[in-house]
Amino acid sequence: MKNTRHFVYKLNSYVHLRLNLNNMHAPSLKDQFLLNDQVTFLNFGSFGASPRPVFEKYQAYQLEMERDPVQFITNRGQTYLKQSRTALSSFINCDADDIVMVTNPSYAVNTIAKSLNLNADDEILSTDLEYGACDRTWNFVCKNNGAKYIRQKISLPLKDADTFVEELFKGVSAKTKLVFISHITSTTALILPVEAVAKKAKQLGIPVFIDGAHVPGHIPLDIKQLDVEYYTGACHKWMMTPKGSSFMYVKKSLQSKTFPLVVSWGYEAMFPSNSHYQDWHTMNGTRDYTAFLCVPESIQFMEDYDWKSVATNSRYMVKENAHQFAEALESSLLAPLTDQFIGQMLAVEIKTSDPEKLYRTLYDNYHIEIPVMRHDDKVFMRYSINGFNSQQDLENLFMAIKDIKNNSTLL
């Protein structure tokens, strides 16, 4: 059945591509998602979306749990969890025991930040492009410990990796305890040169924590090769698992110092596993962890639907429309249009009298889901493209922008 589905998809895909080069994706792929077809969905970046087979697997796990809760939570579910972690570790290339599943990247950032035992002699070096929730976590932890959170200014548009590294490390000092940086930023949708940052930090002997919320399933990730101390990524965004499924990676040598955010049965466990790290961060109270279990199904879906090609086509569509998007909003690009800096999202700074009203207007009046986000004193609009999007989705957006400009003071 799966093979037939795959063959039909491939055939459709080929015919569709031949018929309409602008409209890169086969309609059958759109049918694989549960998204409301009355809405032009240009915001995959915020919370992803699960394809049908993955979501069905999720519901099947939930039913299995409800039928036999004790056996599922304490026994069978743990086996599925291990299988999921093993599949994920192959996908991102690290040892399975070095990652734990967590609800979201905020959870991982909190766990690590609170384990660092910061004091007044410490600084966390970061950029002014980070995600608001992470900024808030670092502000909170640093303030409580007398440490300093340094948001180093990065010039936009980005130019190249060397300039980026130079600007970031202007903020380094003898007090720098950790470099914290996004792999792909949220409001500005930029792939940052984390490999070059990791290399420089290693030369200086400073540990690195990468916030890769947007990375798995979006751009290739090889944790072993990156060789940083800490990494977190969301599976529910671009890997398309159900929501509330993410991971935290900690290098082996630091695992015994990375304490559980919620202390429960996993701490001083009655029947410890071979890894305190796994026990501490896995057994932390009753919860529905079925979203964690769907990683193998998501990977299978990506294989069945040739997600490498889907991603390539999506990146192409992102870039093809970038100039028109920027021009429509009387703005400019935030980086060169290359795979080094741009993936399946593109953002530009906009001038608007009311960002929240603009977002609501786009959704309520034009049925377009696209984020309009404040970042410090700036506002950005960002589109995401995935396999179910077509050129028509972006045409809808361009028409809406034109209409709003002609008929309101919002733009």
Ligand X SMILES: Cc1ncc(COP(=O)(O)O)c(C=O)c1O
List interacting residues with ligand X (CB under 6 A). Answer: 46, 104-106, 131, 133-134, 182, 185-186, 211, 213-214, 234
Query: In the complex, what is the shortest distance from the CB of residue 78 to ligand X, in angstroms, rounded to a whole number?
Result: 24
Of all residues in this chain, which one has the CB nearest to ligand X in the complex? 106
Closest approach, Cβ 289 to ligand X, in A, equals 16
Q: Which is nearer to ligand X, 192 or 198 (CB)?
A: 192
Nearer to ligand X, 137 or 313 (CB): 137
Helix (H) or strand (E) holding 2: helix 2-19
CA 121, CA 147: separation in Å to the nearest integer? 6
Work out how close the CB of 19 gets to ligand X at its nearest, in angstroms, rounded to a whole number. 35
Provide the minimum distance between the beta carbon of 131 and ligand X in the complex, in angstroms, as a whole number: 3
Q: Which is nearer to ligand X, 185 or 386 (CB)?
A: 185
The Cα–Cα gap between 176 and 121 comes to: 9
**Whole-angstrom distance, CA of residue 216 vs CA of residue 220:** 7
CA 74 to chain CA centroid, nearest Å:
30
Strand 378-384 relative to strand 372-375, pairing: antiparallel
Distance in angstroms (rounded) separating the CA atoms of residues 129 and 144: 23
Q: Amino acid identity of 358? A: L
DSSP E strands in 244-362: the ranges are 246-250, 345-349
**In this structure, how many other beta carbons lie within 10 angstroms of the beta carbon of residue 293?**
27
State the minimum distance, in angstroms, from the CB of residue 92 to ligand X. Answer: 16
Complex with ligand X: residue 26 or 248, whichever CB lies closer:
248
Taking the complex as a whole, the smallest distance from the CB of residue 47 to ligand X amounts, in Å, to 8
Given the complex with ligand X, which of 53 and 371 has the nearer CB atom?
Answer: 371
Structure tokens at 145: 């410990």
CA 121 to each of CA 128, 143, 148, 177, 258: distance values in angstroms, whole numbers, following the listed order: 22, 12, 8, 9, 20
Closest C-alpha among 8, 47, 2, 11 to residue 235: 47
**Residue number, 182 or 344, with CB nearest to ligand X:** 182
Q: Token digits for 310?
A: 């889907």
Angle, vertex CA 86, rays to CA 84 and CA 88, nearest 5: 70
- The two three-digit tokens of residue 224, written as one number: 């072993």
Closest to ligand X by CB, 9 vs 44, is 44
Whichever of 213 and 411 has its CB closer to ligand X, that residue is 213
Closer to ligand X by CB, 218 or 315: give it. Answer: 218
Give least dist CB 133 to ligand X, A: 5
Structure tokens at 200: 């420089």
- What minimum distance in Å lies between the beta carbon of 275 and ligand X? 24
**Cα separation, 313 vs 301, whole angstroms:** 17
Nearest Cα to Cα of residue 397 among 365, 376, 356, 368: 368
The rounded Cα 350 to chain-centroid distance in angstroms is 23
Q: Shortest Cβ distance from residue 97 to ligand X (Å)?
A: 23
Residue 302 phi, psi (nearest 5) = -65, -35
